[in-house]
Structure 1
Amino acid sequence: MRKFIFSLAAFFATILSMQQVKAQISAVAETTAEIVSTLQITKETDLNFGSMFSPRNGGGTVTVNTDNQRTASSVQLATATGQSVTAAQFKVSGEPNAVFTITFPYSCNVVNIDNPDAKMLVDNFTSNVTSPATLDANGEKIIKIGATLHVYDYQAVGTYKNTADLRLTVVYN
């Protein structure tokens, strides 16, 4: 039995010694990943066109720019109501100096809260920031949105609001 084990060991030693030895070299790559903070967007101010009178000769428009200035075409503005005219304002937060894209709707409707059949179109959105935009060194950016309100002939009296269709969307590039 010892002879057999010795012969078997010699056989394997012979076979292993016949294998060609090849030079090997290798390199190691470091693998990394970084989890960044997600973009956050917070509404700070609503878009408010203020008060106006219903047109009687064909309708018109009221525009609020990103500097909270209001202009009208074929609509008489009411100024004694004490309502503030404001562009919508959003605060975007995320990774410092990160680049992101901004999208907002093509248009939306505001609806009379007492008469849901009475609507006005809001479109021609403008922004104080061009897209793509860059967050500052603190990871913040203020975005102001202005737009045009279409006031129709004999528009129903009342307060008009939208629910959720004036949605500003931001995404990292």
Structure 2
Amino acid sequence: MLTHLNAKGQANMVDVSDKVSTQRSAQASGCITMNAETLAAVCNNQNKKGDVLATARIAGIQAAKKCADLIPLCHPLALTKIDIDFEIDTVKQQIKVSSLCKLNGQTGVEMEALTAVSVALLTLFDMCKAGDPSMTISEIKVLTKAGGKTGLWQRTTET
């Protein structure tokens, strides 16, 4: 059954009012690959636009909070926790962005976690494009989700 269509086949926000409110969380990640010089500028806080990682962290947090404004039919959620973390890999010339979103509610937070990662990565691209316009954003995915009637789900592979 398609849950985002009503009996007439029209777009419809799912009614979650009868669902039990539970602690819910989701983690997502993605990465951006760039040339060594641009990555070094980020790591050494020498990007001409300022503190790239701090700006991307704020952008990711704001994006998670605005997910329902960006993705049709998403429920507006009262998130209680949003974390954005960065992992620098100088060998692969990548920055991995990870997010964690949490709430106590009636629907999951996967879309908020994915939106946080996506916008943080786009912000990294925007702030670094002068140094490397050929950067690549990839591997955006949900890593874990917890809560609700399905309980815990974890990605079993890195693909």
Structure richer in strand, relative to its length: 1
Q: Quick one: higher RCO (CA 8 Å, sep 6+), 1 or 2?
A: 2
TM-score tier after normalising by the smaller chain length: 0.3 to 0.5
